Chains A and B, each alone.
Chain A
Amino acid sequence: MTTVDDWEPVVASRLREGPEGIRLLAHVVSGDYLRAVGAPGGGLTVEELADLADADGLAIEAISPYGALLGGPDSTASLLADLENTNRWRRLLGWIEGDATLASAVRVLERTLIAALPPGVTHRMLVVLARRSAATANAGWRDRSRTVSRSLATGDLEGAVPGLATIAQTLATELAPLLTSSKVRYLCFSILNAAASRLPGLDATRFLPADVAATYAAWRRAGLIDAEATALTRTWAASSPMRLHHGVDVTLACDYPLVRDLLAQHYGLFGDEH
């Protein structure tokens, strides 16, 4: 066994000089992902990867994103950072080991959805490189990466993810029996919600059975209602210095009953009429 400190040139030279067909499986931090979440530099974009592979006479055979949920949070930015940095998300994922249904759902999401999405979807990707005498295949990856960027910029999901309809259908079918678990519903809703913040046109009914998609819509609405009602209690009188009595905001006294009244009378929840 050989041990070297500076392994990258060694690997590169072995690949360059090795026999036709020799393969390298590499874990690569996705530069496309880091740019998507606004992280400062680092990683390799698909285009950069293609350039490097060309220079070394290698062909990219596969790029597969992974570890959106199972790899633990990235040390820097993350598409799921708003979730991953919370105790509630850690509490949920902590159940994976002891909750077979939740574990199955995570597996389905990773294998059926994440692995089929463009490389920028997580910060981790596995790349298969092979020694080929005529490494022309890399141009295809470069073209595809540009197509993905263009499609995502215009909200064209079909363009970014070829075969999306089939993937969505498979996902909905595989998830359906698992969605009887409230933990799985919360997991899926949270991920869809995070995705929807970047892709406003995302249609949940493609990924969830119709009844669960309806619950998701109610869940999203509930989050917006809670946020709006809470903000309203703090903002409606903010412009008036008269709200202060001996330096104390007297409208604080209204907050608790006001939220209750707003939910029932303004938002029409709990069967009360407008």
Chain B
Amino acid sequence: MRQRALVTYLWDRHLAAIAEFLPGSGVEVLVVPTAHATERLHRIAEEQHCRVVVLESLSAETSPALGATSQALHGVLEGSSWLPPGQSEQAADRLRAIIGARLDADLPAAMATIDALEVARDRYDVVLFVTSEDVTSAAKVATAWARSRAVPSLHLAHSLALLDPYTVHAHLLADVLAVYGERGAEGYLDLGIEPSRIVPTGNPAWDVYSDVRAIAPTLRTQMIDAFGLDPALPIVVFGTTFSGKLTAFDTGEAHLQTLRAFVHACEELARSGILVNAVIKDRPTSASQGQTVLDQVLSDSDARQRYAYCVEHTEAWTVCADLLVAVDSNYLVERMLVGGTGINLVGIASLPLPPVFDAAAGIVEAEAHELAECMRGLLTDEQLRGRLREASARRLEYYHAGGDDGRAAKRVAELMGRLASPVGGAGGRQHRPLLERMGIRRRR
């Protein structure tokens, strides 16, 4: 009898769900691509007496079918029937070159991935496929493979979709999407995806907040020491954003423009006598030039406030900040989780889009020109802070299922358990309809 296997493309931050899922699941093998075979995954596998099989070890680096497939698809490009209407000859050639280059770059790994998944399916009883995203090359192909082979598939969202899913995100390939809260389903429902395929679970990565909150005072002292902050001044954290350049609504300058707006607002506060510890919490992907960009913005602004820069300690800043400012960001949902106040800086990171927070969330939305005034209000008006905190607490469940109960990993694991082919079942074949097995009935 073949061993039961789980194919996982989960990100490190979601792995607690696997740790919760494995006991009693009968799964003995974790099939995982190299990119996700992290130390933490190995540790979880060891604890649960599971074997880790690296996906790439199951197939040749080059698929035997690569040559013929590539040639056929390049052949398609040589024709014209696929072109969008109204392309000039020059534009058509440009499109051929762009798509042709993508084929050469992306096909080899994609086909090797499919070959390896086929071997995994021959060798093991693959009872479930789970991924943190279904958009980038390998994960998208792997998710499509799971669907095509009727392997139950779960996409655990890697963020709460505050921005409506656009271009590369505007689909659901897996059988089921686990969202952090009902708010994360809104954009997918607007795309016409069946409500029954979306399940709010909470985010396993945020379970940590149920513990972090308890040590907030100690953490605050440590962060003040570590970053040389003034203990007498409030801590205002700015969570930076970036331009993904995957939608035409992106201005391409989100990082710089929003950082500049934040610094300008801080300086306006300084001129009116309000001094703060300003902390720029940058993203790891911006780290290589983040400090340089900040220095440039500060020198342009003749800065009077103190600014600290870092790319780490996300959770610590969430609980230590007196005020968090961010841009259409899940960071503000984390802030709701810890009962803090936050401002969403709107209007400059992209062309006009629908508001990402609803009016009930207790998150203040500020245009760049309103930011200083909104910050002043939240730093000086305790009653206002109290009202907003209460609103956030009331609305939290909608943004994060289970609120701050710290049980999201358990909920995801339970969902995985309902989805996985039952013990004793023929691998990949479903004895009951998937949604019925999940205990999910159509909401509409």
Chain A positions within 8 Å of B, measured between CB atoms, are 86-89, 91-92, 94-95, 97-99, 180-183, 185-186, 189, 215, 218-219, 221-223, 225-226, 228-232, 235-240, 242-243, 245-267, 269-271, 274
Contact = CB atoms under 8 A, between A and B. Distances in A.
A23 to B, nearest CB: 39
B144 A252 contact: yes
A183 B84 CA distance: 33
A266 B91 contact: yes
A247 B434 CA distance: 21
Contact of A222 (B111, B187, B346, B351): B351
Contacts of B68: 242
Nearest to B185: A87
B73 A240 contact: yes
Interface of B: 63, 65, 68-69, 72-73, 75-77, 81-82, 84, 91, 94-95, 98-99, 101-103, 105-107, 109-111, 114-115, 118, 135-138, 140-141, 144-145, 148-149, 164, 166-168, 170, 186-187, 189-190, 243, 245-250, 252, 346-347, 351-355, 358-360, 365, 367, 369
A226 B249 contact: yes
Contacts of B103: 251, 254
A265 B114 CA distance: 29
A186 B164 CA distance: 14
A250 B82 contact: no
A186 B137 contact: no
A97 to B, nearest CB: 7
A-B CB proximity, top 9 nearest:
A253-B110, A242-B72, A182-B347, A270-B252, A222-B248, A87-B186, A88-B354, A225-B248, A253-B137
A254 B102 contact: yes
A239 B69 contact: no
Nearest to B166: A226
A270 B352 contact: no
A177 to B, nearest CB: 12
Contacts of B101: 261
Of B77, B170, B186, B359, most buried by chain A (CB within 10 Å of CB) is: B359
A37 B248 CA distance: 31
A267 B148 CA distance: 34
Contact of B248 (A89, A98, A267, A271): A267
B106 A245 contact: no
A263 B245 contact: yes
Given A226-B247, A252-B141, A259-B167, A98 B359 contact: yes
Contacts of A235: 82
A84 to B, nearest CB: 12
B118 A256 contact: no
Given A250-B69, A269-B252, A95 B245 contact: no
Given A245-B63, A245-B65, A250 B72 contact: no
Given A87-B186, A248-B145, A269 B245 contact: yes
Of B65, B98, B107, most buried by chain A (CB within 10 Å of CB) is: B98
B325 to A, nearest CB: 16
A268 B114 CA distance: 34
Nearest to B69: A242
B245 A270 contact: yes
B249 A248 contact: no
A95 B245 CA distance: 28
B359 A232 contact: no
Given A180-B367, A245-B65, 5 more contacts: A91-B186, A92-B355, A182-B347, A230-B170, A254-B137
Given A180-B369, A253-B141, A248 B106 contact: no
A238 B76 CA distance: 10
Contact of B73 (A182, A243, A264, A267): A243
A256 B359 contact: no
B190 A251 contact: no
B107 A183 contact: no
Contacts of B63: 245
B69 to A, nearest CB: 6
A186 to B, nearest CB: 4
Nearest to B142: A248
A81 B184 CA distance: 22
A248 B144 contact: yes
B205 to A, nearest CB: 22
B91 to A, nearest CB: 7
Given A180-B367, A182-B346, A252-B141, A271 B252 contact: yes
Contacts of A271: 252
Contacts of B164: 88
B98 A261 contact: yes
Contacts of B136: 256
A17 B111 CA distance: 84
Given A182-B367, A186-B354, A229-B167, A87 B187 contact: yes
A127 to B, nearest CB: 34
A222 B137 contact: no
A261 B95 CA distance: 10
Nearest to B72: A242
A94 B248 contact: no
A246 B168 contact: no
A229 B149 CA distance: 29
B165 to A, nearest CB: 11
Contact of B249 (A219, A242, A252, A265): A219
Nearest to B244: A260
29 contacts: A87-B189, A87-B190, A88-B187, A91-B355, A186-B352, A219-B352, A222-B247, A229-B167, A239-B81, A240-B72, A240-B75, A245-B65, A246-B114, A250-B107, A250-B110, A254-B106, A254-B137, A255-B137, A256-B168, A256-B246, A257-B102, A259-B168, A260-B246, A261-B101, A266-B94, A266-B95, A269-B248, A271-B252, A274-B94
Nearest to B109: A253
A244 B354 CA distance: 37
A237 to B, nearest CB: 6
Contacts of B75: 240
A238 B82 CA distance: 8
Given A236-B82, A240-B73, A269-B248, A250 B355 contact: no
